[in-house]
Every structure is written in structure tokens, then in C-alpha cells.
Amino acid sequence: MTDTPWLNENWHTSPWNFEPEVTKDWKFPKKVIIHDVTLRDGEQQAGLAFDYNDKIRIAEALAEAGVQRIEAGMPVVSKDDAKVVYDLAKRNLGPKIYSFARCMVDDVKRAVDAGVQGVVMEVPASKHLIEKGYRWELERAIDLSIQSTKYAHEQGLEVVFFPIDFTRSELKWVIDLIEKVATEGHMDGLALVDTMGVTSVHAMPFFVRAVRARFPNTPLEAHFHMDFGLGVANTIMAVAEGVEVIQSTVLGLGERAGNVPMEETVMALLTLYNVDCGIKTQNLKSLADLVQKVSGAIVPRNRPIVGDDLFKIESGIIATWLLNCGEKDLTTCVPFRPSMVGLPSPVAVVGKGSGIDNIKDWLGKAQIRFTDEQAMEILMAVKDWGLVHKRLMNADEFKKFAENIITTGVHANK
């Protein structure tokens, strides 16, 4: 760790993040792995469908960004899904290719046929879900898990056990169930699954520590959902307790409110905790744009890390900061350099919220001569225009607007 991990040429975060009182209990692993589930769990978002070419393009972009593991899909779902998994498994993209499977031997056979290196195996892990959702006898869930995980191991696959609804179970009961499967079947890794996104930030360390106490040598993975917006925070809390793998999606795609978004999690760990997940952050924007394009997902323009408008500065006071700081001291007025994630440099823009420095900056760029009184008149007119049009001005509109005011002394907002 550098002397000032909160401050360097690329970001400026809070020095409080690294106070000894804050860091004394950190247990971050030496290496954090990103296991991307966009192609499987991300596609479960309502109304979203990836075809074969979409999935191949996304997988290639994930590999280019440095993602270490890709969950390519569930071969049993369809012939198209099986082909995607098979084709990605036989290519040397770089990331390990995993498939997803129910705890059924037939599902595992499909994974073996696809040639993947690992399999994430789901099983219902709460009494209420087993009884009410699946309408299974508990013993059936246990027997299927033991039989299928053992078979997967015998076929040479890395087996990650994925207990659905883990966090709404009685803790001792579910850990006993997992231990029985691990002992009589097989488990190379264990996913801590918050299927409904219902675990509080304060409960997460308790959860991880309880599981780690029973499985001290088993790699743990975080798979959390965003139903209450806590997935990123909970993932970071879990990793700070030693969890080695983050299961995430691009743009947080997924069921209901979605999965943990990779771009936010990776950047938060890097800039707030000095934990590098090995991702080429400069690829994050292009990766997000690709997934948005092929998925049709609506991405807010101010979305954290990759939003199109993140670094368009309209507020007058912040535009003043930006113009005074320049490129050299850019992180005085933004938390990280946009180039870190593949976004263009910040710009002062013109709209209802602009200040006098926005106007003077744009007048200068348009090569329009002006007095201070004229600049103020233009500013007031721009504010009126913004109220009418409820958007930003573009450069051509501003030039004509400003020239008209300087020439005639009047303006029209329509």
C-alpha cells in the first residue's frame, strides 16, 4: 500500500478510508477473482434475451477486460445455450469457463459434454423454499445434491456449491446441510448467496464468519442481489472478510433489481480500499455500452462509473472548480479521472443550472467577443431557455443564441 492510497494521479477519495481504526479488521484476500454471470443470471432480467452472437461478443469483451471466470450459461436450457457454452469452453479466451447446473446428474452430464472447467451447482437451501417453492421433500434435495456434486467431481469439474436463498435460512440448519453435502458429495467452493438481496450490511460479516468457521479451507464466493440497493456494499463487506470470488454482472443485469454490478464493485474496491481485482478498468465503459446495446437495457445517463453524463458539469460552482483546476488537478473536483473507465474528460455544459463561468467558457470556445454585462445577460437567457426546453444546449444552439443576444439584445426561448 502506498503512503496515500486515497490520493494519486487517477483518484482522490477520503483519507478516512485508511485510518488504522478503519483498516485494523480487514481480511482482504491476496487475490480477488471476478466471476461474471451476465450470460446466465444477467439474461434472467425480465424481457431480456441474448442470442448466440450476443453472448460470444460479450464473452470476448469480458475476456479483453481481464475477467477471470465466465459463467457461460446452462446447457440444459436450450440447444442455443448449450452451443454457447460448448464453443466458449473450447476457445482459449483466457478466463475459465463455467456452466450453471441444477443439482441433477443429467445437468452435470451436459456440462461435462460442453467441456467446461467448472460448474456452479444450485440447490434450494431454505426450508420454506424447498417445501413451498419446489414442493420437494427435504431428503430429495439433499440426496440430489450429494449424488450430482460427487458425479461432477468424478468427471474432473471444479464444483461450486450454490445454496439458493442461503440468507433466509436458519444458519446452523443450512450450514449443517451444506456440510453433509460437502462430506458425502463434493464441494471445491461455496457461494454465499443472497438470492433476495435481503441481508443488511451489518449482518454480512456475521454471515461470512459463521460460514468460514465451519469451512475454514473452502474458497468462498459472493453472489448478492440488489433488491434494496445493498449488493455492492455487501460484496465489499464480504471480500473484506476474506471472500475470494465476486459473482457479478455487467450493468447489474439480472432478476428483479439485478445482480451486483461489476463496474461499481471493481472501482469501489480499487479506489476506496486499494484492492485491485485485475480488471482493465479502461474497458468498463465500452463493455457496458456493448451489453446495453445488445440487451436493450435502459441505462440512466448518470449511472455510477459508466453513465454517459457523469462528467458533464452543469452546476455553476462545480463548473468553476473544473475550469480553475484544469487537467492537472482534475481529481480535486471529480473523484476519479474519467479515462480510468474509458469516459471522456469532464466538460462544463450549458443549461438551466449553469453559472457565469460556464457561459464565458462556451463564449470563448465559440470565439465570440463579449463584455461581462453581455455574458450575464446570456446566462439569464440560458436559464430561461433551460426551463422551457428542460435539456442542455448544444454548441450550435448556444452560438446562435448568444450571437443573437449580443447583436439584438433580445432572445427567444422557443
Tens digits of residue pLDDT in 181-227: 899 999 999 999 999 999 999 999 999 999 999 999 999 999 999 99
What does the pLDDT look like over 92-128, one tens digit per residue? Answer: 899 999 999 988 899 999 999 999 999 999 887 666 7
pLDDT at 383 over 60: yes
- Residue carrying C-alpha cell 476457445: 91
How far is Cα of residue 407 from the mean position of the Cα atoms in its chain?
A: 50
How far is it, in rounded angstroms, from Cα 132 to Cα 141?
13
Between 174 and 17, residue with greater pLDDT: 17
Element (H, E) at 397: helix 395-408
Element (H, E) at 35: strand 33-36
User: 405 near 411, Cβ under 8 Å?
Assistant: yes
The residues, any chain, with a CB within 8 Å of residue 75's CB and separated by 6 or more, are 81, 82, 85, 86, 99, 101, 107, 110, 111, 113, 114
Task: Using a cut of 0.95, tell me whether the model's pTM lies above it.
Answer: no
Name the DSSP letter for residue 335.
S
Residue type, 275: V
The pLDDT assigned to 10 comes to 97
User: 180 near 144, Cβ under 8 Å?
Assistant: no
pLDDT band for position 408 (50/70/90)? Answer: confident
How far is it, in rounded angstroms, from Cα 178 to Cα 171?
11
Q: Is the dihedral of CA 21, 191, 43, 276 positive or negative?
A: positive
Full set of structural domains in the chain with CATH: 15-295 (3.20.20.70), 312-408 (no CATH)
pLDDT at 293 over 70: yes
